[in-house]
Amino acid sequence: MANVIVIGAQWGDEGKGKITDLLSRSADVVVRYQGGVNAGHTIVVKGQTFKLHLIPSGILYPDTECIIGSGTVIDPQVLITELDQLDKLGISTANLFIAENAHVTMPYHRMIDQASEEHRGNYKIGTTGRGIGPTYADKSERTGIRMLDLIDPQGLREQLNWTINYKNAILEKLYDLPPLNPDEVIEQYLGYADRLRPYVVDASLKIYDAVRLRRNVLFEGAQGTLLDLDHGTYPFVTSSNPVAGGACVGTGLGPTIIDRVIGVSKAYTTRVGEGPFPTELDGEIGELLCSLGAEFGTTTGRKRRCGWFDAVIGRYAARINGLDCLAVTKLDVLDQLPEIKVCVAYEIDGERCEHFPASSRRFARCRPIYKTLPGWQVSTENCRTWEDLPRQAQDYLKYLAELMEVPIAIVSLGASRDQTIILEDPIHGPKRALLHADGTPASLLSA
Ligand code: IMP
């Protein structure tokens, strides 16, 4: 029995979808604990591509229960589209459950998200425009609509009548936008409620019961560590807590039930939206990574910014999440490069810095200090064991593990399930390698 959290160790889009899909094989329950339809997982099974925004990727396994936890924000319209899409593909959603206390994204959230981005000018965040920030803001302001409100017709009418009038004042006076018609929105959302009502449960209780029966629970984070509201590159972050700690808050489970935390990191770095990115590559190599890695957002289709692997943020992610092991994805994207750089530290205002700075202004002044490693210049996409990998690729991976002080359990070399090398059991493997008494790191790569 193991309860495992899978998180993104960079700025999101690390390939968590594939890794959680892989780990879902041995999970009885998969729980998404934060974020909304800003996320997007692309999963390829038997040549078919699935794009999921809210529903955990475990839905592809017929016996796995999938739960959308209380820390998420739910856009009912998008969720219903996903349900329809799965239905068409013949994938059952009978095992899907939605937390009654998850918050609901409303049309005014999307409108305010997009309008406020325009008003921000140079201070733009580059949000996905899906209403995520305003939905979480309402949650904090205590004016949010929860799933349990959505499925209570009388309560929903009363609450929305008041809220839409309040939001209309903001839309009209602040953003010069046309007001929403409360009756139309209420009718539309009552329709969504009818469709979603059967899925709504006390999710905390459901997960707790599974844990007590010693079933395996996989907690799936969306976005990544550097997009965390508290620990990311604020203000260029999302409005939830993708870090491992968010899994407990976003489900209503205590931290003592968590057995392991797995980080997912690309073999290089990408970021979407605004904000500093020290290892960003503007030229030819950045373009190459973008095209070979198909680096376009699943949700918005935006081109992702690409750069070298940044071990400073890697170490930070290892610390903030308490990583036990790492899955390195998209190693094959580096196949053609004659040499590969890794950022080992920053230089800020003439001084060497080993740690991620909390200030975005300071972070923007960080210049990467690189170590250059030789590339392997052969295809790795058909490698299936550690021994199959070219020596330079092995050395590269060993170096990342050493810099992050986290053992690598999984290496991914393509989108398909079989393009994967398992180096150690990611779920039942040893706990995170700690330092030996003399201060040297314990063995980091099991191969
Ligand atoms: P929001 O989550 O839409 O408010 O966007 C805030 C920031 O998070 C923006 O920079 C987005 O590009 C980024 N972001 C949100 N979701 C994802 C994701 O799933 N992958 C990568 N970046 C994301």
Phi-psi region of 23 (alpha: psi -120 to 50; beta: other; left: phi over 0): alpha
Cα 400 to Cα 79, 223, 328, distances in angstroms: 37, 21, 9
Whether 109 sits among the annotated catalytic residues: the reply is no
Count other C-beta atoms under 10 Å from residue 288's C-beta. 16
13 included as an active-site residue? yes
Q: Whose CA is nearest to atom 19 of ligand 1?
A: 39
Residue 264 in contact with residue 326, Cβ under 8 Å? yes
| Residues 333-354: b if buried by 16+ CB within 10 A, e if exposed | bbbebeebbbbbbbebeeeebe
Atom of ligand 1 nearest to the CA of 133: 4
Strand segments, DSSP code E, in 183-281 are 200-201, 217-220, 260-266, 269-271
pLDDT at 228: 98
pLDDT at 297: 85
| Amino acid 428: pLDDT | 81
Residue 58 per-residue DSSP state: G
Q: Which of 13, 28, 149, 310 is catalytic?
A: 13
Q: What's the angle, vertex CA 139, arms to CA 135 and CA 143, rounded to 5? A: 95
Q: What percent of the chain has pLDDT over 90?
A: 84
DSSP 179-205: PP-HHHHHHHHHHHHHHHGGGEE-HHH
- Please state, in angstroms and rounded to a whole number, the distance separating the CA atoms of residues 195 and 65: 19
Instruction: Determine whether the shortest distance from the Cβ of 276 to ligand 1 is under 6 A.
Output: no
Alpha carbon of 429 to ligand 1 centroid (Å) = 32
DSSP state of 430: P
Look at the block and give the residue holding tokens 């939001």.
167
β-pairing, 339-348 vs 367-374, is antiparallel
Q: What is the pLDDT of residues 167-221, one digit of tens each?
A: 999 999 999 999 999 999 999 999 999 999 999 999 999 999 999 999 999 999 9
End-to-end CA distance of the chain: 25
240 CB under 6 A from ligand 1? no
Ligand 1: which atom is nearest the Cα of residue 128? 3
The model's pTM is 0.95
Q: Is 130's C-beta closer than 6 angstroms to any atom of ligand 1?
A: yes
Query: Residue 146: helix, strand or coil by DSSP?
Result: strand
List the catalytic residue out of 28, 41, 75, 138.
Answer: 41
Residue bearing the CA closest to ligand 1, atom 8:
238
Nearest to 56 by CA among 120, 10, 99: 99
Q: For residue 9, how far is its CA from the centre of ligand 1 (angstroms)?
A: 14
Which residues are within 8 A (CB) of 402 and not within 5 positions of it... i.e. 6 or more apart?
A: 441, 444
**Per-residue model confidence (pLDDT) at position 447:** 41
CA gyration radius for the chain? Answer: 22
- Chain-centroid distance of CA 216 in Å reads 20
For the chain, residues with pLDDT lower than 50 are 446-447
pLDDT digits (tens, 9 = 90+) for 62-95: 899 999 999 999 999 999 999 998 888 888 999 9
pLDDT of residue 315: 97
